[in-house]
């Protein structure tokens, strides 16, 4: 653990050399609680949402559940996953009871982090982040892509499918 983290201040590396791009998304899925109800309960405006039954994929498919999403993609250009996770955790600060209510109501809540990597070295969590996510009952996972070592431009490293459409 680095000295700044021990003293309570995270020591972010916003220009993380092996990351081309990263952002995190808090996701809430429910069969019966609507995105508007999730927004009201959490008191957080989602960055995107959809309703059960909405069509997607050019109208060929229908959503099987309600989806509510809060993403850091437009909030920070940092290449340090820890900063993006802290932005989400800060938004949830003081909302433990609301998150617990969503769990009790059967919602699936997780945090996903998009990560495009070059070279050796990847994303990591700080112990206090693991503790907070565990206390909230929120699972975390990474959506990892590998760019060529010569690629430094985020657009060149993105997968061909539009990443903002990846939430089920």
Q: Could you give the CA distance from residue 117 to residue 66 in angstroms, rounded to a whole number?
A: 31
For the chain, the domains span: 23-157
Query: What global pTM score does this model have?
Result: 0.83
Q: Which residues contact 56 (CB under 8 A, 6 or more apart)?
A: 50, 62, 63, 165
The distance in angstroms from the start CA to the end CA of the chain is 36
Exposure of 20 by Cβ count < 10 A (0-12 exposed, 13-18 middle, 19+ buried)?
buried
User: Residue 152: its pLDDT value, please?
Assistant: 56
Mean pLDDT by 10 residues, the chain (168 residues): 53 94 98 98 98 93 97 97 98 98 98 94 93 98 86 46 42
């Amino acid at each position: 653990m680095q000295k700044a983290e021990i003293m309570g201040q995270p020591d972010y590396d916003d220009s993380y050399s092996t990351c081309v791009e990263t952002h995190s998304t808090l996701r809430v899925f429910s069969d019966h609680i609507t995105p508007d109800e999730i927004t009201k309960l959490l008191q957080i405006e989602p960055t995107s949402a959809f309703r059960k039954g909405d069509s997607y994929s050019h109208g060929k498919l229908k959503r099987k559940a309600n989806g509510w999403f809060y993403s850091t993609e437009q909030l920070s250009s940092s290449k340090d996953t820890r900063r993006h996770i802290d932005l989400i955790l800060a938004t949830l600060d003081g909302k433990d009871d609301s998150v617990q209510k969503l769990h009790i109501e059967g919602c699936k809540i997780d945090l996903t982090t998009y990560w495009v990597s070059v070279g050796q070295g990847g994303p990591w969590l700080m112990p206090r982040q693991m503790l907070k996510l565990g206390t909230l009952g929120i699972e975390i996972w990474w959506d990892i892509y590998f760019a060529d070592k010569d690629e430094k431009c985020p657009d060149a490293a993105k997968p061909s499918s539009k990443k903002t459409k990846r939430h089920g």
